[in-house]
Structure 1
Amino acid sequence: MSVTDPAPSAPPPGRFWLASYPPGVPGEIAPLGHGSIGRLVEASCARYAARPAFTSMGRTLTFADFARETAKVGAWLQAQGLKKGDRVAVMMPNVLQNPVIIFGILRAGLVVVNVNPLYTPRELEHQLKDAGAKVLFVLENFARTVASVVARTSVSHVVVTAMGDMLGLKGLLVNLVVRRVKKLVPAWSLPGHVPFARVLEEGGKRQLAAVEVEPHDAAFLQYTGGTTGIAKGATLTHANLISNMEQIKLWIEPTFRVKARPEQLVFVCGLPLYHIFALTVNGLMGIALGGHNVLIANPRDIPTFVKELGKHRFHIFPGLNTLFNALMNNPGFAKLDLSGLVLTLGGGMAVQRPVAERWQQMTGCNITEGYGLSETSPVVTANRFDRPEFTGTIGLPLPSTEIEIRDDDGRPLPLGTPGEICIRGPQVMSGYWQRPDETASAMTADGFFRSGDIGYMTPEGYTKIVDRKKDMILVSGFNVFPNEVEEVAMAHAGILECAAIGVPDEHSGEAVKLFVVRRDPALTEADIKAHCAASLTNYKRPKFIEFRDELPKSNVGKILRKELRAAEMAAKPI
């Protein structure tokens, strides 16, 4: 279908979008069969024991292996005195240890705090302090960052793992190459740290104690800027995540009326598991469906990524517009056997029509775009998987999900009229961790989450995003908030004032542009970029810098980012 801007009209009563659902997909999910993610994992591991569950760098864990290894991690954590609800941070890319640790934490009745391993010391310290994490698992490549801040946090145990720790004898060679040949492990010192091998050894001698975890108990603190630039933890409960998994399971079912269902679904896990999209769609969905996840440790290494894809007949590929584009630009990708691909899921950022059309031509599978946020576990809407056309929208609300388009006063708007996208459903977070004021501002009195995105709904129930109410910048699917970039930049003595906006970028969708008024006339672009690199992870750093004599301001002196954006778009229209 092709979506054009409809004339405004009053929305029909009720969930009118259900009329656009694929045949057989119900409007509501069934009552949850598993009270906790831990029980879900245990049930799947028992049911699919002999099947491969996760593969990384040539080593595969079966579901039986996965049950055993997660139990070791959980038992070790319990032996350290951690109690139900305590927070445990995980700071690593997609290596086998990552899902083992995440689901071991959950089986022990504890709460996972996902940490981007590329965080700077400033970003890491804030998150660990805010979460009150008691234990931190980190890949040794990032241990130097931890060493610089851990003494100022509540972390009492740091567990350090190496890239090859779960790869058997091959792991010794992998560690040698990573440390000595590629020199990817900066020198670090963490007195008293615990090697991951010891966790498995000691945990294997203990029994994982059963913990009564209720659906409303917290499972993850998923850090996000929310509706402001202050990083805060979206508290996602077991029910939130299991509900979203069940919603997605119902939504993908019509796919298998178009393409045959494989005996075992193979997922490409190229997005990091610390990102909510991969966590739910790869991690939870893969486990619940008895699927096999192929973990990609470094998705930016496209040649290695393509080589790994060549080893597997894969069926489900969640990704971002930028990732799909990068893969198609690699000569080896076109040579792969892509005939097994059943679903390509696009999220995190807008899927561009040229990318979607080229992907369909190369793979025979269309990219189905959806929409979600960290606060919604994440998926809220998705296009139909049983139809090949590119709609240019974010699709229909998933089962048990309500979407309303509201004005600034919270009143519903007619169809076709842009307003704030507001969301209600079982996947919506319980609130921001220890921030009742932020929670109150993000939620309406009748239980809708205010997304901050501006869009409209069509008469068929499809939603089209047209703008953002907040100034958030979306770089390769990650949120960047201008005030965080500006705060870091303003710490440079040579800057008088500055403003950050997002500008179109062919590689990352958007990139950060910083407008600067100099205090020091000798200040250079290189000076600013070096300064920002010390405190901001790569995707948050300004890619473009423009010096100005003054910045546009309101009559009360507020810098007007919208005028900077308008001038930028006028100068470089899309």
Structure 2
Amino acid sequence: MDDIFSGHQLDIPFASVPVLLARYRDRDPDRLAIVDLDQDSAITFGALADLTDRIAAKLVALGVGKGDKVLLLSDECLEKLLIWLGTWRIGAVACPLNIELNNEYIGDFAALLKPKAVLYQNGLDYAAIAGDGPTIRFGAWKKDGAGDPADDFFRSLPARVDPATLPDGYGPTDMAGIFCTSGTTDRPKAVVYDHAAYWLSGLSTLDMLGLTEDDRTLEYRSFGWNSAQVLSLMPFLQRGTTLHIAKRFSHSRFFEWIQKYGITFSAGVPTVLNMLLNKPLGYTADDIPTLRLMTCSTAPLSAEQWVKFETMYGIKLLQLYGMSEAGWICGNRHYKAKLGTVGLPAKHQEFVIVDGEGKECPVGVEGEVTIGGPQTALGTLREDGTIEPVRGLRIKTGDLAVRDAEGFITVTGRTKDLIIRGGMNIAPVEIDNILMASDLVLEGAALGVPDPIYGEEVVCVVVPKTPDVTGDQIAAYLRARLPLPKVPKKIYLAESLPKSDRGKVLRDRLRDALPELTEAAVVSLKAS
């Protein structure tokens, strides 16, 4: 087993779904396992192992076997995770495509994957998506046994199953999942994971967060994205936490969820944190005593935002950093964190910052982040269905970063976003962080635009916190905090910034939108 994991020591020995669910059934049969907040439905660990076996038997009856792909097209719901667990129960491959992808992409991916079965949620129009086997609609699972008229899957499950009649399951080197990257600027890639990558990513999460079986976690992001899989699904399997899920974040219901269900940990992204900071609903730490920890990933979080959030809500906040092909790259720990950084390299990530010649950068020197090791993806799918390898290679992430003397990593930007002004490299994230620290600004982003003299010039787009904020006020704020070459030459005002559904600012779209925006201020670079 050590050879499979390339010498990485596992805090929790590898185990498969049938072993894990049987363990939690015997340990805590009456404890809630998964809670669907939107449907107000739930399942206990005592019922989950049996139901997973019944779903697995149904999939076998449909012709699905070990290594076959099951395409899951669904919003976030209890049934999606039940089918996922049943798929893994027999060693098949879960392919949870995000339904917010372009329909053309979903059709193309289905043709590429050639799934043995396609299961789609009632109310979604995917009956025409074809695989090598049946396409089946599913509705709500009814724990009282009542059939859902809109369901063609759960109501036809066998009444009982002898676990000994099911396939043995899987090992760490078996293919586990295929999912898509966010595709913020290009066509999404299909990323392939084996169970070893998932297991190590989950262990890295547990090292960062310190979750135990007593935790009640909240995830409101799509399980079609890797981040939700390794932050929430894997710790649920590895520790037997209680997992609460929602279709999406709700500003009005978030704190109600925390109070009602005693949530102890919640996922977070910058958009959510900014919403809670800038549009508070009057909740304080006294109102949500169970919630001790939240994370922030997807985009860098400034030290000022971090402090504001912890002060306002009394919740420990941890900045994490990852990517689809790598799982977690870095993360602050519940026992060791540093403001303004993405933390230490993840426990099971083989992390190196390199210079332009591929040599490791010393402390304090900026370079590009590279990743490797058994936590990384097997690879990405080519058009012919073969795998473009990632595992076994040293992969450049496109992210720029610097390591300090204590080992903490600060992400300074993207290589493609780097602004080169008169030979000076300017990371837009530095300017972003200063903008976000201002009480004048709801959100803001810097970017480079062509300039006949300097090659590129810095501009920024800002969403003011209140309508009376002027470009001149923002310009004065920036001049007082940035060296002159980094001060944006132009400031534009906007009602919002274009983002991916994971909260990343889409700078290419922002650049294209500049001619339509209001130019609020022109900053003289000769100003003191």
TM-score, with structure 2 as normaliser: 0.72
1:539-566 Cα distance to aligned partner (Å, 9 max, x none)? 98957854879xxxxxxxxxxxxxxxxx
- Please tell me whether the aligned partners of residues 270 and 295 of structure 1 are also in contact (alpha carbons under 8 angstroms): yes
- Alignment partners' CA distance in 2, 1:569 and 1:45: 63
- Alignment partners' CA distance in 1, 2:16 and 2:521: 48
Show the counterpart of 2:225.
275
- Alignment partners' CA distance in 1, 2:102 and 2:88: 27
Structure 1 residues 29 and 44: CA distance shift in structure 2, 3 A: farther
- Alignment partners' CA distance in 1, 2:145 and 2:520: 55
Decide which structure has greater helix share: 1
**2:104 is aligned with what amino acid?**
R
Show the counterpart of 2:435.
none
Structure 1 residues 246 and 315: CA distance shift in structure 2, 3 A: same
**2:135 is aligned with what amino acid?**
V
Q: Map of 1:249-288 to 2, 5 A cutoff?
A: 249-253=206-210, 264-288=214-238
**1:111 is aligned with what amino acid?**
V
Per the TM alignment, residue 396 of structure 1 is displaced from its structure 2 partner at its CA by 0.6
- Higher mean displacement: 264-273 or 539-548: 539-548
- Alignment partners' CA distance in 1, 2:520 and 2:66: 51
Show the counterpart of 1:308.
257
Show the counterpart of 2:101.
119
- Please tell me whether the aligned partners of residues 298 and 503 of structure 2 are also in contact (alpha carbons under 8 angstroms): no
**1:232 is aligned with what amino acid?**
K
Q: How many residues align?
A: 437
Q: Map of 1:175-574 to 2, 5 A cutoff?
A: 195-199=152-156, 201-202=157-158, 204=160, 209-224=166-181, 229-253=186-210, 264-299=214-249, 301-328=250-277, 329-331=279-281, 333-334=283-284, 337-376=287-326, 378-387=327-336, 390-434=338-382, 439=388, 447-470=393-416, 546=513
Per the TM alignment, residue 403 of structure 1 is displaced from its structure 2 partner at its CA by 1.5
What is the SS of the residue equivalent to 1:461? coil
Show the counterpart of 2:421.
none
Show the counterpart of 1:518.
none
Per the TM alignment, residue 310 of structure 1 is displaced from its structure 2 partner at its CA by 2.6
- Please tell me whether the aligned partners of residues 214 and 241 of structure 2 are also in contact (alpha carbons under 8 angstroms): yes
Per the TM alignment, residue 105 of structure 1 is displaced from its structure 2 partner at its CA by 0.7
- Please tell me whether the aligned partners of residues 423 and 449 of structure 1 are also in contact (alpha carbons under 8 angstroms): yes
Structure 1 residues 77 and 393: CA distance shift in structure 2, 3 A: same
Match status 1:73 vs 2:55: yes
> Paired residue for 1:154, among 131, 137, 151?
131
- Alignment partners' CA distance in 1, 2:191 and 2:93: 12
Show the counterpart of 2:30.
50
Per the TM alignment, residue 85 of structure 1 is displaced from its structure 2 partner at its CA by 0.8
**1:39 is aligned with what amino acid?**
V
Structure 1 residues 129 and 245: CA distance shift in structure 2, 3 A: same
Per the TM alignment, residue 430 of structure 1 is displaced from its structure 2 partner at its CA by 1.5
**1:248 is aligned with what amino acid?**
T
- Alignment partners' CA distance in 2, 1:214 and 1:454: 36
Show the counterpart of 2:474.
none
- Please tell me whether the aligned partners of residues 35 and 238 of structure 1 are also in contact (alpha carbons under 8 angstroms): no
Per the TM alignment, residue 109 of structure 1 is displaced from its structure 2 partner at its CA by 0.9
Per the TM alignment, residue 230 of structure 1 is displaced from its structure 2 partner at its CA by 3.6
**2:31 is aligned with what amino acid?**
R
Show the counterpart of 1:484.
none
Q: What percent of counterpart residues are identical? A: 20
Task: Give the unaligned 5+ runs of structure 1.
Answer: 1-26, 176-192, 256-260, 475-501, 508-531, 550-566
**1:102 is aligned with what amino acid?**
W
Structure 1 residues 213 and 303: CA distance shift in structure 2, 3 A: same
- Alignment partners' CA distance in 1, 2:14 and 2:216: 23
What is the SS of the residue equivalent to 2:397? strand
What is the SS of the residue equivalent to 1:467? strand
Structure 1 residues 406 and 108: CA distance shift in structure 2, 3 A: same
Per the TM alignment, residue 28 of structure 1 is displaced from its structure 2 partner at its CA by 5.2
Per the TM alignment, residue 132 of structure 1 is displaced from its structure 2 partner at its CA by 1.8
- Please tell me whether the aligned partners of residues 34 and 40 of structure 1 are also in contact (alpha carbons under 8 angstroms): no
- Alignment partners' CA distance in 2, 1:196 and 1:571: 62
Show the counterpart of 1:554.
none
TM-score, with structure 1 as normaliser: 0.66
Per the TM alignment, residue 87 of structure 1 is displaced from its structure 2 partner at its CA by 0.7
Match status 1:87 vs 2:64: no
- Alignment partners' CA distance in 2, 1:202 and 1:238: 28
Per the TM alignment, residue 339 of structure 1 is displaced from its structure 2 partner at its CA by 1.5
**1:43 is aligned with what amino acid?**
R
Per the TM alignment, residue 107 of structure 1 is displaced from its structure 2 partner at its CA by 0.6
Structure 1 residues 506 and 249: CA distance shift in structure 2, 3 A: farther
1:102-126 Cα distance to aligned partner (Å, 9 max, x none)? 1111112100111112223212112
- Alignment partners' CA distance in 2, 1:227 and 1:118: 12
- Please tell me whether the aligned partners of residues 93 and 178 of structure 2 are also in contact (alpha carbons under 8 angstroms): yes
**2:23 is aligned with what amino acid?**
A
Show the counterpart of 1:139.
121
- Please tell me whether the aligned partners of residues 356 and 390 of structure 1 are also in contact (alpha carbons under 8 angstroms): no
- Alignment partners' CA distance in 2, 1:198 and 1:373: 38
- Please tell me whether the aligned partners of residues 227 and 452 of structure 1 are also in contact (alpha carbons under 8 angstroms): no
What is the SS of the residue equivalent to 1:402? coil
1:137-186 Cα distance to aligned partner (Å, 9 max, x none)? 22223x22x24x51xx4253223234x544769998xx9xxxxxxxxxxx
Task: Give the unaligned 5+ runs of structure 2.
Answer: 1-6, 419-427, 430-458, 465-497
- Higher mean displacement: 318-327 or 430-439: 430-439
**2:236 is aligned with what amino acid?**
G
Structure 1 residues 572 and 383: CA distance shift in structure 2, 3 A: farther
**2:186 is aligned with what amino acid?**
G
**2:379 is aligned with what amino acid?**
G
**1:291 is aligned with what amino acid?**
T
Per the TM alignment, residue 438 of structure 1 is displaced from its structure 2 partner at its CA by 7.9
- Please tell me whether the aligned partners of residues 207 and 333 of structure 2 are also in contact (alpha carbons under 8 angstroms): no
What is the SS of the residue equivalent to 1:154? coil
Question: Considering only aligned residues, what root-mean-square deviation do their CA atoms show, in Å?
Answer: 4.0
1:163-212 Cα distance to aligned partner (Å, 9 max, x none)? x544769998xx9xxxxxxxxxxxxxxxxx9623334x347467561234
Per the TM alignment, residue 569 of structure 1 is displaced from its structure 2 partner at its CA by 12
- Please tell me whether the aligned partners of residues 381 and 394 of structure 1 are also in contact (alpha carbons under 8 angstroms): yes
- Please tell me whether the aligned partners of residues 90 and 169 of structure 2 are also in contact (alpha carbons under 8 angstroms): no
- Alignment partners' CA distance in 1, 2:374 and 2:183: 18
**1:455 is aligned with what amino acid?**
A
Per the TM alignment, residue 41 of structure 1 is displaced from its structure 2 partner at its CA by 3.7
Show the counterpart of 1:36.
16
Per the TM alignment, residue 341 of structure 1 is displaced from its structure 2 partner at its CA by 2.0
- Alignment partners' CA distance in 2, 1:238 and 1:572: 56
